Structure 1
Amino acid sequence: MNSLILTILGIAMMLAGYALYSAFLGRKIFALNANYTTPAHTLEDGVDYVPTNKYVLWGHHFTSVAGAAPIVGPAIAVIWGWLPAFLWVTIGTVFIAGMHDLGALWASVRHKGQSIGTLSGRYIGARGRNLFLVVIFLLLLMVNAAFAVVISKLLVSTPTAVIPTWGAIIVALLIGQAIYRLNWNLPLVSIVGVIALYSLMVIGDKYPIVLPDNIAGLTPGAVWIITLFIYAGIASLLPVWVLLQPRDYINGLQLFVGLIILYGSVLVTSPTLVAPVINHNMPDGAPSMVPLLFVTIACGAISGFHGMVSSGTSSKQINNEQDTRFVGYFGAVGEGLLALGAIIATTAGFKTLAQWQEIYNAFGQGGVKAFVAGGSTLINEGLGIPASLSSTILATMAVLFAATTMDTGVRLQRLVVQEIGDIAGVKITPIAATIIVLAVALGLTFSAGGDGSGGMLIWPLFGTTNQLMAALTLSIICVILARLGRNYLVAIIPLIFVLIMSFWALIVQLKGFYNDSNWLLLTLDIIILIAAVWVTIEAASALSKAKNNPITQEEFDGDNLNTTPVSA
């Protein structure tokens, strides 16, 4: 099949979803109100609660939720064939991810910017909240530790990405000052920022940075991991407008430029998809497509991490409640477009089926490496950009997205630690909470040796844990909508589907961990499974009570007056 047809069809489906379905959700389901005063205004503190231009906030939200996962997941899942991956990304984005992200953002905005964990305590109960926090903490630990490893490997394997990766921080700091201190024109700042970022890629391509093999007994990868965590810890404590917002915003713009370059290459060359529609010649030992497809592709179809970002940082920056539709739903569309680009790059970026099969000769192969290899070939042939620079552009794109997710992930985990402290009656300062987060993440990362490979130890549980988190977030949205007497079918149908696939995948993995005598993952799998079952039962009970105890919109608004900020 011609990849151009698939590209046009996928983009059209997602844009139609934003234009039509998100408008329906905003008007009929969530009843977005431009006159509602958001917590960014009522609780403004200049650090976490900051009224933000919706385009700047979209950049922060989109790049925080995207990371490397919408590249890695689809780039692995195409081993089952391009059609299943395409259908899950497009249908998932339109009917599940967009609704989930918009719903989580709306729910938090209507509750003083409180996290989804706090909302679980309110709508499901104290037991549900405590178990919810266990799942959240483990998920954030997986993201922070694993993404540090992914970034470090890319910086080692693609040294041309080092200068643009760290130079982007300086660009972001300057953009933050230009927007918030100097009040410069946003379009002008955006154009200059994008030009600066891509100039850094050209410079990085000419001057690669390669670290020595041994630095104080540490490998280059280990040095990068430690540096990344120190940076993320500092970034998590800074006011969002100083670094987090502008960094994510400019990264969002560079991603769209990167996607335009990638999709433009497809438009020019119209390459054929060499991968099979459905792969009937799977490698030995590969798992079945159902249910594993639906947890292998998480970000790009639906992701529980999005709910944590929506309620953890983005909700505290919403200037007008109607902005939630653009920030939340269109943020999911942006990630879906990235996942679609990963599918195209890893199925049309190779000359022959045999060449594709060399990469996908075992389950778990592909990932960022296949995306960079296939995508750079398309860009080189389509637009004539040198192969080395093409690889630098795509590798930098992957690194910057993973890094922005780490920024947000460490900040979110710091807030979770503070929230756990509040529940236990212990006041934990932001600095102390950040030290705890970094200690746990670094402890895991280096638990398997000095190379930092321990960061990937619990990554096999990411997909299932992430999707269970999404299902639990959907359950809270269902309960809120039921209490308001609104149609919650838009949430409960995706909830049931995601919950079934997640539990099924957890059980499949449980058997695999037992057969492999992997007692660490087996124990964590059991803990997550028990917590998820318990929270699901609590949520079902809460939903039943909510249907019989509705409240009016006036009662709902009055009950959620923005008067007291959550821990920040």
Structure 2
Amino acid sequence: MSAVLLLVLGLGGMAAGYFIYSRFIAERVYQLDPAFRTPAHQFEDGIDFVPTNRFVLWGHHFTSVAGAAPIVGPAIAVIWGWLPAFLWVVLGTVFFAGVHDSGAIWASVRNRARSVGSLTGDVVGKRARSVFMIVIFLVLLMVNAVFGVVIARLLINNPGAVVPIWGAIAVALVIGQLIYRFRIGLGLVSVLGVVALYGLIFIGPSVPVALPETVMGLSSNAAWILILFTYAAVASLLPVWVLLQPRDYINGLQLFVGLILLYGAVVVANPTVVAPMINDDVPAGTPPLLPLLFVTIACGAISGFHGLVASGTTSKQLNKETDARFVGYFGAVGEGALALGAIIAATAGFASLADWQVVYSSFGEGGVQAFVDGGAAILSAGTGLDAEVAGTMLTVMAALFAGTTMDTGLRLQRYIFQEWGEIYKINWMHRPLPATLLAVGCCVLLAFGAGGADGSGGLLIWPLFGTTNQLLAGLTLLVVTVMLVRLGRPTIFTLAPLIFLLVMTLAALLLQLKEFFEKADWFLFGLDLVVLVAAVLVTLECVAVLRRSRNVGEEAET
């Protein structure tokens, strides 16, 4: 199988989805109104509510939702063969993720930019809101704790990437000043930013940076994790235009340049996909493709975390309601393109099937390292880049996106505590600094309480991320569907994806529950049970509301 054919079919399908299907969804289903006054204008405060150019906001949304997950998930899921992963990424992006992301933005914008968890109280009910926000909190806790570990390990394993990863923050700070203080055109700023980022990538390998094995009694891994959480806490308190927006925007451009280089190398080198189309000889212990494929590839097809970003930070910066199509749906397409690149790198970046099988010797293998190694081999063959530089570029790409997701994730976790403060009338919790300290404290407690001195405790609950994340996506679609029913608009385009997601997610939760029981892993067993009960409760609440809304609509027509 030619990797070029896979590339053309994948990108062609996503492009058709954006230019045709997203227009239909925006005009006929969500009925986006350019004259609607968005919360960014209504509550403009220069900190969280900031009307933003749609290209800059697209960069924020896309890079916040992308992270490392659309690389990790697909690069693991190809163990079942490249075809299932390819179909789920392309079809999931077009019919699931784009509809979900733009819908979450629309729902939040129409409700004063409240998070999807908070507005559930109005749309569904207070009981559903309480359970829903627990699920949201768990997802954010998993993302923040685990991405801290992922970035720390990338920094340790690739010391040549330290300078470009941290240098990107300085570049973003300068870009924010150029755009908002000095009003320099976005085109010139974009070029300068991309040149600076890639200049750092080429410099990085010549000035490797590594922490000592122990820092004040802590391992280098633990030290990096604490540094990352300190940075994320500060970043989450800064006005969005200072760091979050420009960092996300320039990283988005960097990713597209990186993807163009990777895709160009695929076209030039025309590597062969050595992995099987359907793998009938999976390693022992590999779980069944159904339903695990649909929770292993979460980000890159559809992801509940996207709804948190869409309704948490993106909706507060939307300049015009019609921008939701470009920012939300096209943001999902960007992530789908990254997931497609991960599939190609992890299946065509190996010399032979035997080499591929050595890496994929057990379920869970592959991931970021398969993307970096396979992608570097393709880049080196197609562009003539030095293999070390190519590997550094892809490592920086993965780490920067994990970092921007962590930035946004901690800000969102702060919003959750602030919303809890508002809901339960706890005034001190409603303030940014205490809420941020609570958010960081929970992440550090998980990292070091469950992981010991190494700080890798987030990995303990990571096996439940896929199911919890996809459950959240289904529940977000439920909220959007209820709103559509009440407005008398078509619901099949959100109802069909949410039914599919809930069925697959509940099946995966039950399968994992059995696995945890057999392993006597009572912590994950109990947590799985909590998520499963939450899923059933919120689903039942939403079904009841859907029925009532439909009945009211039918009575109004008669």
Task: After TM superposition, list the pairs within 5 Å mapping 1:122-271 onto structure 2.
Answer: 122-271=122-271
Match of 1:446 in 2: 448
Q: Deviations over 1:131-162 (max 9, x none)?
A: 00100000000000000000000000011110
Match of 1:316, as an amino acid?
K
Q: Does residue 371 in structure 1 map to residue 374 in structure 2?
A: no
Q: Deviations over 1:331-367 (max 9, x none)?
A: 0000000000000000000000000000000000000
Match of 1:289, as an amino acid?
L
SS of aligned partner of 2:275 = coil
SS of aligned partner of 1:446 = helix
Match of 1:155, as an amino acid?
L
Task: After TM superposition, list the pairs within 5 Å mapping 1:349-498 onto structure 2.
Answer: 349-427=349-427, 428=429, 429-447=431-449, 448-498=451-501
Q: Does residue 532 in structure 1 map to residue 524 in structure 2?
A: no
Q: Deviations over 1:492-528 (max 9, x none)?
A: 0000000000000000000111111111111111111
Q: Does residue 50 in structure 1 map to residue 69 in structure 2?
A: no
Match of 1:565 in 2: none
Match of 2:552 in 1: 549
Q: 1-side partners of 2:182 and 2:16: how far apart?
A: 38
Q: 1-side partners of 2:549 and 2:200: how far apart?
A: 54
Q: 2-side partners of 1:188 and 1:90: how far apart?
A: 33
Q: Deviations over 1:76-98 (max 9, x none)?
A: 00000000000000000000000
Match of 1:528, as an amino acid?
V
Q: 1-side partners of 2:59 and 2:413: how far apart?
A: 21
Task: After TM superposition, list the pairs within 5 Å mapping 1:30-69 onto structure 2.
Answer: 30-69=30-69
SS of aligned partner of 1:412 = helix
Q: Post-superposition shift, 1:550? A: 4.2
Match of 1:115 in 2: 115
Q: Post-superposition shift, 1:217? A: 1.1
Q: Post-superposition shift, 1:441? A: 0.4
Number of aligned residue pairs: give it: 551
Q: Post-superposition shift, 1:423? A: 2.0
Match of 2:423, as an amino acid?
I
Match of 1:399, as an amino acid?
A
Q: Post-superposition shift, 1:549? A: 2.8
Q: Does residue 274 in structure 1 map to residue 274 in structure 2?
A: yes
Structure 1 gaps, min length 5 = 552-568
- 48-57 or 540-549, which moves further after superposition? 540-549
SS of aligned partner of 1:450 = helix
Q: Deviations over 1:252-305 (max 9, x none)?
A: 000000000110110001111000000001111110000000000000000000
Which aligned segments of 4 or more residues in structure 1 are displaced greater than 2 angstroms? 548-551
Q: 2-side partners of 1:140 and 1:23: how far apart?
A: 31
Q: RMSD over aligned Cα, in angstroms?
A: 0.8
- TM-score norm. by structure 2 comes to 0.98
Q: 2-side partners of 1:118 and 1:465: how far apart?
A: 18
Q: Post-superposition shift, 1:118? A: 1.2
SS of aligned partner of 2:215 = coil
Q: 2-side partners of 1:547 and 1:50: how far apart?
A: 37
Match of 2:86, as an amino acid?
F
Match of 1:81 in 2: 81
Match of 2:522 in 1: 519
SS of aligned partner of 2:393 = helix
Match of 1:284 in 2: 284
Q: Post-superposition shift, 1:309? A: 0.3
Q: 2-side partners of 1:246 and 1:38: how far apart?
A: 21
Match of 1:566 in 2: none
Q: Deviations over 1:302-337 (max 9, x none)?
A: 000000000000000000111000000000000000
Q: Post-superposition shift, 1:216? A: 1.0
Match of 2:243, as an amino acid?
L
Match of 1:213, as an amino acid?
E
Q: 2-side partners of 1:416 and 1:144: how far apart?
A: 14
Match of 2:354, as an amino acid?
A
Q: 2-side partners of 1:298 and 1:510: how far apart?
A: 19
Match of 1:432, as an amino acid?
P
Match of 1:459, as an amino acid?
W
Task: After TM superposition, list the pairs within 5 Å mapping 1:325-344 onto structure 2.
Answer: 325-344=325-344
Q: 1-side partners of 2:488 and 2:358: how far apart?
A: 54
Match of 1:12, as an amino acid?
G
Q: 2-side partners of 1:375 and 1:217: how far apart?
A: 37
Match of 1:324, as an amino acid?
A
Structure 2 gaps, min length 5 = none
Q: 2-side partners of 1:197 and 1:222: how far apart?
A: 27
Q: 1-side partners of 2:47 and 2:523: how far apart?
A: 38
Q: 2-side partners of 1:24 and 1:290: how far apart?
A: 31
Match of 1:445, as an amino acid?
A
Q: 2-side partners of 1:549 and 1:55: how far apart?
A: 40
SS of aligned partner of 1:477 = helix
Q: Deviations over 1:108-149 (max 9, x none)?
A: 111111100111111110000000010000000000000000
Q: 1-side partners of 2:182 and 2:14: how far apart?
A: 36
Match of 1:119, as an amino acid?
L
Match of 1:191, as an amino acid?
V
Match of 2:78, as an amino acid?
V
- 202-211 or 67-76, which moves further after superposition? 202-211
Match of 2:538, as an amino acid?
V
Match of 1:425, as an amino acid?
K
Match of 2:9, as an amino acid?
L
Q: 2-side partners of 1:432 and 1:458: how far apart?
A: 25
Q: 1-side partners of 2:425 and 2:267: how far apart?
A: 59
Match of 1:93 in 2: 93
- TM-score norm. by structure 1 comes to 0.96
Q: 2-side partners of 1:146 and 1:364: how far apart?
A: 15
Q: 1-side partners of 2:359 and 2:113: how far apart?
A: 45
Match of 1:473, as an amino acid?
T
SS of aligned partner of 1:103 = helix
- 132-141 or 440-449, which moves further after superposition? 440-449
The alignment-based identity, stated in percent, is: 59
